[in-house]
């Protein structure tokens, strides 16, 4: 049973987004920061933790500093008085005298206005070091009003997370040439929504190192953590990074092949953060992949950062150079429908409803969901799910159906009107209360398409030409050229390959827990495609058609897939990595 203290801690975490830093991880961060202050033993270095919680990061950096004979002035800020009291007790017990704790909201200590001297310097002077694990709270938890306040105060763009506001405020409170080590979500590294954060960090810091901690579960949080280390640029020196930033990336490996190729074994996960060579390492019964290399920051901030070893980066660049184009040049990639009321619109028991509520056959369409996804063709698992599709093409436009023409569907939908009409955003968009929120063009569903799940540990791109509608947990691809089905088979062959999984992992760095990848439009659009007219592409197309149209034994499928891998390498004129 959970203790009262633990329950309080969990409740606070949910409310504030705080997740306290494990002591050993705190020491790893502290060591990396203080390595930049070797030779500065004669002066007192001011350290600030603006969300200090129970003081773990301050204690860790003090412990490491003592071993390096570096003198520190420690300053901690936190809005939680209980956490401040614990931090005060722990720092006092440590014997360190030069510390100050402030029970305030760090973000509210920031003055209004556009000036760069944002803080009352009598209360909080600029720091040489900022070490922090700021709270991670997303817009929907913050609330629209608070998010808007932060957006305005800190000039934030896009979807607002609380740690973004902390990044801006911490940067203002850091001295020029000061060092910041901060734990954040790793989402900004590779997502479209991370553009504003990437831009801010590049413009304000010489980036020293990024540590992507992946699915290592150092924290209880659902987000995957990363650690950013940077040196604040002076106002006079806003040039691009003079150094090439380092990166360290660690993810758990679940496949059997990985566990048989382990470089060496360690007793604890924290020890792996100190290794200096890429490879596979084991801790007890788990295997982890570690990559060390360069961080490549494209000039266009919209493009995700690339964390790659020398060999990976060279391979990645050669693939792009030899590509004929990208999927977005040949096809449209779309997310599935979003009903925003699945339990109303999607059911497998339509026939069990009262007769007068069973919607007309014309409106009930088969729907494919992620649980049916399979490589090459739809899974054979039985699914009776159908969607009540409330849209049609009328006068050349996508329109909601006229309920008067479908009395049984009308009866059914009106029995759920309270819930459907409660979707106020539908009504605000001048739509009918019974509409599917994102229906897509009804005329496209009957066309051949590729479907694939949003989240999967392996690629599962499959062919569908029976007119099924695609659920919102999947994406679908249709060719730009009418009836250009061959391009779909080429795309499928490329997407389902080990070659493309390797490319995806280098380019997009977006693995979730247990090695699962996100297959978003923004990623799949950027998959490279060889010349569709080459002899290699034509053979790939032929082999994929074999896999789609003819039932094969596992051994034969494996042989064909291996042949496709060989052809892909030839099509891109590149060797396997």
343 within 8 A of 388, measured Cβ to Cβ: no
pLDDT of residue 279: 87
Closest CA to 371 of 313, 443, 456, 291: 456
Torsion of CA 427, 432, 434, 435, to 10 degrees: -90
Neighbour count for residue 466 (Cβ, 10 Å): 10
141 burial via Cβ count (<10 Å: 0-12, 13-18, 19+) = middle
Enumerate residues 6+ apart whose C-beta is below 8 A from 402: none
E strands, 350-495, are 364-368, 376-377, 386-388, 391-394, 397-400, 449-453, 455-456, 462-464, 469-470, 474-479
Ranges of H-type helices in 458-514: 485-495, 498-508
DSSP annotation string for 182-208: EEEESGGGTSGGGHHHHHHHHHHEEEE
Cα 156 from Cα 144, distance rounded (Å) = 14
Q: In whole angstroms, give the CA distance from residue 207 to residue 230.
A: 4
Helix H, strand E, coil C: the string for 288-337 is: EEEEEEEEECCCCCCCCCEEECHHHHHHHHHHHHHCCEEHHHHEEEEECC
User: Distances in Å between the alpha carbon of 491 and those of 19, 102, 332, 443, 458?
Assistant: 42, 57, 12, 22, 16
3-state DSSP of 213-243: CCCCCCCCCCCCEEEEEEEECCCCCCCCCCC
Distance CA 165, CA 181 (A): 16
Region of 469 on the Ramachandran plot (φ > 0 left; ψ -120 to 50 alpha; else beta):
beta
pLDDT tens for the chain, 577 residues: list them.
333 333 344 334 434 445 567 888 999 999 999 999 988 878 999 999 999 999 999 999 999 999 999 999 999 999 999 999 999 999 999 989 999 999 999 998 875 444 334 455 556 789 999 999 998 776 667 777 888 888 888 888 777 778 889 999 999 999 999 999 999 988 888 777 788 899 999 999 999 999 998 888 777 656 788 999 999 998 776 666 667 788 898 888 876 556 567 778 888 889 999 998 888 999 888 888 888 888 877 777 877 788 788 888 889 999 999 999 999 999 999 999 999 999 999 999 999 999 999 999 999 999 999 999 999 988 766 678 999 999 999 989 999 999 999 999 999 999 999 999 999 999 999 999 999 999 999 999 999 999 999 999 899 999 999 999 999 999 999 999 988 999 999 999 999 999 999 999 888 877 666 678 889 998 999 999 999 999 999 999 999 999 999 989 999 999 999 999 999 999 999 998 8
Instruction: State how far the Cα of 181 lies from the Cα of 8, in Å rounded to an integer.
Output: 28
Beta bridge partners of 250: 290
- The predicted pLDDT at position 381 comes to 64
CA atoms of 476 and 471, how far apart (whole Å) = 10
Question: For position 52, what pLDDT does the model report?
Answer: 95
pTM for the structure as a whole: 0.73
Instruction: Please name the helix (run of DSSP H) or strand (run of DSSP E) that holds residue 12, with its range, or none.
Output: helix 4-16
**Domains of the chain, earliest start first:** 17-110+125-248 (3.40.50.150), 319-330+480-576 (no CATH), 335-454+468-474 (no CATH)
């Amino acid at each position: 049973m959970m203790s009262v203290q633990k329950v309080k801690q969990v409740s606070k975490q949910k409310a504030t987004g705080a997740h306290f830093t494990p002591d050993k991880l705190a020491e790893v961060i502290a060591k990396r920061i203080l390595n930049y202050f070797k030779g500065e033993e004669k002066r007192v270095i001011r350290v600030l933790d603006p969300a200090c919680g129970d003081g773990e990061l301050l204690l860790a950096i003090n412990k490491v500093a003592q071993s390096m004979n570096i003198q520190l002035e420690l300053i901690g800020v936190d809005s939680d008085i209980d956490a401040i009291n614990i931090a005060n007790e722990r720092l006092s017990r440590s014997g360190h005298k030069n510390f100050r704790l402030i029970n305030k909201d760090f973000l509210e200590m920031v003055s209004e206005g556009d000036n760069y001297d944002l803080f009352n310097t009598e209360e909080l002077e600029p720091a040489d070091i900022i070490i922090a694990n700021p709270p991670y709270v997303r817009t929907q938890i913050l609330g629209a009003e608070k998010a808007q306040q932060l957006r305005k105060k800190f000039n934030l763009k896009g979807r607002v997370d609380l740690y973004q506001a902390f990044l801006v405020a911490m940067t203002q409170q850091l001295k020029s040439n000061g060092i910041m080590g901060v734990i954040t979500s790793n989402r900004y590294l590779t997502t479209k929504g991370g553009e504003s954060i990437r831009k801010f960090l590049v413009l304000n810091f010489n980036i020293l190192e990024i540590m992507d901690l992946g699915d290592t579960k150092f924290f209880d949080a659902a987000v995957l953590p990363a650690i950013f280390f940077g040196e604040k640029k002076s106002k006079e020196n806003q040039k691009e990074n003079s150094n090439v930033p380092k990166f360290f990336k660690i993810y758990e490996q679940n496949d059997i092949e990985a566990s048989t190729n382990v470089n060496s074994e360690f007793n604890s996960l924290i020890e792996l953060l100190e290794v200096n060579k890429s490879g596979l390492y084991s801790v007890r019964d788990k295997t982890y992949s570690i990559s060390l290399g360069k961080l490549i920051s494209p000039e266009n901030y919209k493009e995700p950062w690339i964390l790659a070893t020398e060999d990976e980066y060279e391979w990645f660049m050669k693939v792009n150079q030899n590509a004929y184009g990208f999927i977005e040049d040949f096809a449209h990639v779309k997310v599935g429908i979003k009903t925003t009321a699945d339990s109303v619109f999607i059911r497998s028991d339509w026939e069990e409803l009262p007769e007068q509520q069973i919607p007309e056959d014309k409106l009930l369409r088969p729907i494919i969901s992620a649980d049916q996804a399979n490589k090459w063709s739809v899974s054979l698992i039985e699914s009776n799910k159908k969607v009540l599709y409330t849209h049609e093409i009328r006068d050349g436009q996508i329109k909601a159906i006229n309920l008067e023409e479908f009395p049984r569907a009308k009866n059914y939908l009106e029995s759920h009107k309270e819930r459907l009409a409660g979707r106020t955003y539908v009504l605000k968009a001048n739509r009918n209360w019974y509409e599917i929120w994102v229906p897509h063009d009804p005329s496209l569903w009957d066309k051949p398409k590729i479907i694939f799940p949003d989240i999967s540990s392996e690629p599962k791109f499959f062919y569908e030409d029976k007119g099924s509608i695609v659920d919102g947990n999947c994406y679908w691809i249709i060719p730009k050229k009418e009836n250009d089905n061959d391009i779909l088979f080429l795309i499928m062959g490329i997407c389902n390959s080990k070659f493309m999984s390797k490319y995806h992992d280098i380019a997009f760095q977006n693995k979730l827990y247990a090695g699962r990848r996100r297959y978003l439009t923004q990623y799949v659009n950027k998959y490279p495609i060889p010349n569709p007219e080459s002899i290699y592409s034509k053979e790939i197309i032929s082999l994929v058609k074999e896999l789609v149209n003819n039932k094969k034994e596992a051994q034969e499928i494996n042989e064909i897939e291996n042949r496709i891998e060989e052809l892909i390498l030839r099509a891109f004129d590149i060797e396997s990595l």
